[in-house]
Amino acid sequence: MSTNISLCMIVRDEEKSLPLCLNSVKDVADQIVIVDTGSLDKTIKIARSFGAEVYNYEWSDHFAKARNESIKYAKGEWILWMDADETLDQSSISELKQITGNNNKNYFYSIKISSKNEFENKVTYSDAHRLFPNGLDIQFENRIHEQIYNSAIDAGLKEVISEMHIIHEGYNLSAEEYRKKLIRNLPILEKMVKEKKDYAYAHYTLAQNYSGLKYHEKAIDHFKIAIKSGNLNRHLHVSALNVLAQTFSFLGNWEKAEQSSRRSIELEPIQSGGYYMLYKCSENKKDYRLSIEYLTKLLENTKRMNSSNEMVRNDKLISEQKILKTIANTYIKVGNYHKALESFIQLDGKEFSKSILGKIIEISSKLQEWNKLIQILIKYIDDNKEVDLDIYDILGQSYIKTNQLNKALNLYLKVDKNYGADITILKRISALYAKKGNREKAEKYILKLNSLL
C-alpha cells in the first residue's frame, strides 16, 4: 500500500494530550512518525498503540533540529506536522485528502491555528505551514517557533492559504502555567537572537516572550528592532504593533500606545487587537463615547471574522459576549440606558451574572421596559440550572405589570411545586387567584400561607 501522508511529530511526556491528537488524524495519516525527546510517562506506549514508529532523540534546545529528525523518517508523498496538544478539525479532512490526492507538489500549505484560552475568554488565531510535499529536501529552521517557509520558497514552491484548521490547546493555561512556559522558552529565544541578530522574526518572538513575562522595556526594544527591520510580513507587523501598544499601556505611556494601535489599523483595518487597544486608550482618557465607537467597530470586526475566513494571522479575538457586556456597561457610564439594555439583551443566558442581572433589573424598572426584562429573564432561566427564587418573582411581577396574569400565575404555581412552600410565592398566587375572581383557590392558598406564619 502506498504512503500518501506522513504525520511527523516531536513529543515529550504528552500522555494526556497525545491520544486526542492521534485520534483526530488516524483516518488520514498513512504513517505516524514520533520522535521522542525523553518521555518518562506513557507517551511512547500510547504512540505505539496507534501504530506509530517511535524514534528516540537527545534534546539539544533546538526545535528545528528535532523536527528535521522527524521528517527524515517520512515515507509519504506529503508531510503533515503537528504538536501533541493539537487536534485536526474534522471538517478539514476532506480538503486535506483533496490536496494530497491531487499530488501537485508545486505548493506548500498554510493551516489556520486557533488557540483558545478559557481563563481569559480569548481565542488567538495564527497560521503555520503544516503541510508540504516530501522529497524536496525542505528543512525546518529556528531554535524555537520553527518554520519551513524559507526552505519551501528556496525549493521553488508557492504558498497556499488553505481552509484547513488545527485546534491548539497548548496556550489554554492559567496565568502561572503560562508564565512557566514563557520562562522555559526564554533561554532558547535569547540564544536564537544572539545567533541571528539581524533576523526580525527572532526579535519579534523574543519581544512577545518578554511582554508575556512583563519585562516591558526589553519587549519594547526588541519589537522596535523587528519593526524597524522592515522584514516582518504584514501579519506579524500588525501583531508586533498591537503587542507594542499593549506594552506601552502597561507602562502608562498611553500616547505611544494609541500611536502604535493606529499604525496597526492602517496596515489591517479588519482586525481585533488594534481596536481593542484604542478602546483601552479612550477608556483611560474617560472618553466613553469614543470607547463605544471603538467597541462597536471591535464587535463588527469580531462578528465578521467569526463568520468567515477573514482571520488576521496572529490576531487575538475577544468573545462577542465579552464585548457586548463592555459596550453595555460603557453605555451606562454615559447615561444611555436604552442602548445599554439593547446590548444586554443580545447576551446568552449564561452570561448574566448576578451583578449584570441587577443592572438590567434596575435599568428596566427605570425605563419601564418590562417586556425586554421578561425576555432577558426567560433566557437566563432557560440557560441556568440554579435560579434564585427572587428571579422568578421578578419575572412574575413583570408579567403582572404587562397584564399577562395567566403567565404570572402559571409561573408561580410551577415555582411553588418545584421549590416548596414560600411565603412570598404563596402571597403572589393567592393575590392572582383573587384578581382573577377565583375566590375558592385564593382562600386555599391563604390557608396554606397562614400555616407558615
- Residue range 347-388, pLDDT digits in tens: 999 999 889 999 999 999 999 999 999 999 999 999 998 899
pLDDT of residue 244: 97
pLDDT for residue 401 is more than 90 = yes
pLDDT for residue 117 is more than 80 = no
Tally Cβ neighbours within 10 Å of residue 315.
Answer: 24
Q: Mean pLDDT score of the chain, rounded to an integer?
A: 93
pLDDT for residue 311 is more than 60 = no
Rounded to an integer, what distance in angstroms lies between the CA atom of residue 339 and that of residue 363?
11
Rounded to an integer, what distance in angstroms lies between the CA atom of residue 197 and that of residue 257?
26
Beta bridge mates, 133: 78
pLDDT exceeding 90 applies to what percent of the chain?
85
Contact of 396 with 428, CB cutoff 8 Å: yes
pLDDT of residue 1: 44
**Sole residue written with cell 511526556:** 13
**Exposed, middle or buried, 253 (CB in 10 Å: 0-12/13-18/19+)?**
middle
What is the sign of the dihedral through the CA atoms of 370, 373, 375 and 380? negative
252 contacts: CB under 8 Å, gap ≥ 6: none
Q: Kindly state the average pLDDT of the residues 58-70.
A: 97
Enter the DSSP assignment of 319.
P
- Residue range 258-270, pLDDT digits in tens: 999 999 999 999 9
What are the structural domains of the chain?
A: 5-168 (3.90.550.10), 195-326 (1.25.40.10), 337-450 (1.25.40.10)
Of 306, 232, 294, 252, the C-alpha closest to 269 is: 294
- In order of 12, 32, 184, 326, 386, the CA distances from 209 in angstroms are 22, 32, 10, 28, 42
388 contacts: CB under 8 Å, gap ≥ 6: none
What is the sign of the dihedral through the CA atoms of 38, 64, 61 and 16? negative
Contact of 210 with 182, CB cutoff 8 Å: no
Question: Which grid cell is 424?
Answer: 412570598
- In order of 281, 400, 447, the CA distances from 427 in angstroms are 52, 14, 11
Tally Cβ neighbours within 10 Å of residue 25.
Answer: 22
**Sole residue written with cell 481565542:** 123
pLDDT for residue 3 is more than 90 = no
pLDDT band for 421, please (50, 70, 90 cuts): confident
Of 67, 81, 77, the C-alpha closest to 99 is: 77
Helices 337-344 and 354-367: crossing angle in degrees, nearest 10, is 130
pLDDT exceeding 70 applies to what percent of the chain?
97
pLDDT for residue 2 is more than 70 = no
Beta bridge mates, 129: 110
Q: Kindly state the average pLDDT of the residues 176-186.
A: 93
Contact of 84 with 102, CB cutoff 8 Å: no
